[in-house]
Structure 1
Amino acid sequence: MILKAESVGRRFFRKRNGSNFFYAVQDVALTLRSGQLVALFGRSGSGKSTLLNMLSGLLAPSDGCVLLDNTNLYQMEDGALSQFRNEHFGVIPQGQAALQSLTVLENVLLPCTLFHDSTPQTEARAMALLEQTGIGDLRDVRPSELSGGEMRRMAIARSLIRNPDVILADEPTADLDDENTKVVLKLLKTVAEQGKIVFIATHDKDTFDYADAVYHMDAGKIKKEE
């Protein structure tokens, strides 16, 4: 499977440097393949999160297109795109994106319950993912009782619950200590080795030890590091 950005750009309307808009991402060409873990490094504000949102079907590009194999994400209707994204993409957001009314286990199962796909097998998978990320004993806890690192690991487990083809991770090791950083990066590397596409936007240079390729992003443009 291949996830491809073709001349992708995203502009936002705001007066800046004599113009009524500015580009957060400019003319990005990127090809991500199954079986690879790819890291994207860059300063805050360089456009990493905007690029991840476009690759995941969450933010339509102003220019260019995003394709998963032969499917052009932004030629789909909203409802079809939502279901397609739910089936094929696992997203680890930079911020906290938990429903406070649900337990940790229920939050992890949410991508399945949204489309009525929750079964005893998916609950067993959810528990296995919670154990792998070191928070299995917190299955019945509410998000308000979790630390930042525990919330991050819950989001990682949720992103993997449907065994998606593509995992897009925005700072997945933020809020984690050294030990749990290694646990998460080893897990994501294993997922890639199982034939998935894993793309990580990060400030954490420890990620490079697990990456098959590293890109650097600056002012909305990317280049591959040697």
Structure 2
Amino acid sequence: MTTVVALPRIIQGGMGVAVSNWKLARAVSLVGQLGVISGTVLDTVLVRRLQDGDIGGDMRRGIRRFPVDGVADEVLKRYFLPEGRRPDQPYKLIPMYKQRVSVARQQLTMLANFVEVYLAKEGHSGPVGINLLTKVQMPNMASLYGAMLAGVDYVLMGAGIPREFPGVLDALAEHRSATIRFDVDGLAAGESEVLSFEPLEHGVTDRTPLTRPRFLPIISASSLATTLARKANGRVDGFIVEGPTAGG
């Protein structure tokens, strides 16, 4: 018997850096439509909110629900300023991403995405999605795993051809390692580089399979839809079609 899933009539755009934040996504989701958070540099957004004093305590509330021991305490110790920054005090920066980063750096990315999704979903059952840029390759798998630990319902991806990410979602839902091709200029013919993510490195004690979110690539041409439908390495659940007024 085929299960028919009611799809949202409204998909709120996942725009910019903290423009489509958890509050906007939550408001849309509460009325039964698809609220979407922007996943762009959420790790930087989180640590800056903490350094600004986390007014209202929302970040700390979400951080305390993160299911990896020790990460919450370490991040709060390093970045939280109870009184906020002085007017002339610069933000403490986080390390730039590179092809291989430390477990702690990945966990900060996981935590930030977890917190944003957790807060958007807190206290209701409406759908919440996350929007990621395919071309911003290095943090994407850690971002997805963190969002999935918080129960994200949809993943939206544009700015490239995300045909490897259905398989990534399948793997992460089962806490298995995931790998994607890493685009590097100047490689010799036949050479390739990859990005890898290993969930078991992060100490998640509950290995119950996660809900695999529905995957909606963002496209602007029928040829891209055909490519993804035929060549993606896992299930594609639909497409979001952008016209010339979409911007970006």
TM over 0.5: no
TM range, smaller chain: 0.3 to 0.5
- TM-score, structure 1 as length reference: 0.41
The structure with the largest strand share of the pair is: 1
